[in-house]
Amino acid sequence: MTRAAAEPECEVWLRANVRPAAVLAAVALVAGTALAVLAALPSAPPVARLCAGVASVAAALPLVALAAAAARPRLVRRGRVLRVRLAPLLAHDVPLDVVECFFLGSQRLPGGGDRDDLPTHRVGTIVMRIAERAAAWQARPTFPAWGTWAEGAVVFDGRWCEPLSADLVRRLTARLVDAQRRAGEAP
| Domain extents in the chain | 18-70, 75-185
If we measure between CA atoms, which residue out of 99, 107, 113, 114 comes closest to residue 159?
107
pLDDT tens across 22-72, in order?
777 777 778 777 777 776 777 777 787 777 777 777 777 777 777 788 889
pLDDT of residue 104: 96
pLDDT of residue 166: 95
Q: What is the mean pLDDT of the chain?
A: 85
